[in-house]
Amino acid sequence: MTTDLSQYDVNRLPGADVLGRQRYAIVVADWNSEITYAMAQGAIDTFLKHGVEDENIDIIHVPGTVELTYGAARVMKEERVDAVVVIGCVIQGETPHFDYVCQSVTQGVATLNVQGKVPVIFSVLTVLNRQQALDRCGGKLGNKGVEGAYTAIRMANL
């Protein structure tokens, strides 16, 4: 079983002739920006690598992970996009705040997906410590932003 989709099968993606016409949005949380910005860059690089035009990639910054759902909903309402990738990082602390944030964003993204307008891809790290996050934003476990872009392309082209 593969747990690192950063090494994906390029043959499962449509060509640049299709992707060059598509629009994608990345909604990225500014909280834990060292992590989330690296993931967002991975997503941007992946979209560009496969022929999505630079002007067809919108980056929307929100303060934190809880705000990702609103940001995605707003993009879906105001713009024509083929998929939205939400990128955040929640690191467990000493209070139950971690649980509330994770539950909120998970439920919010699930609700947006059930609406069926466009796929909303969950690229939110929910980790126990900073090292686990670093391992997943370009470290030994790949870049979950790359995986989010790959998944967005696949889902937009079902």
Catalytic residues: 97
At 144, list the tokens. Answer: 């979950």
CA 80 and chain centroid, separation: 17
**Per 3-state DSSP, what percentage of the chain is helix, strand, and coil (rounded to 5)?**
50, 20, 30
- Output the CA angle 154-150-121, nearest 5 degrees: 80
| Maximum distance among all Cα pairs of the chain, rounded to whole angstroms | 49
Specify whether the CB–CB gap between 127 and 133 falls below 8 A. yes
Of the candidates 12, 34, 11, 8, the one whose C-alpha atom is nearest the C-alpha of residue 136 is: 34
- Report the first-to-last Cα separation within the chain, whole angstroms: 23
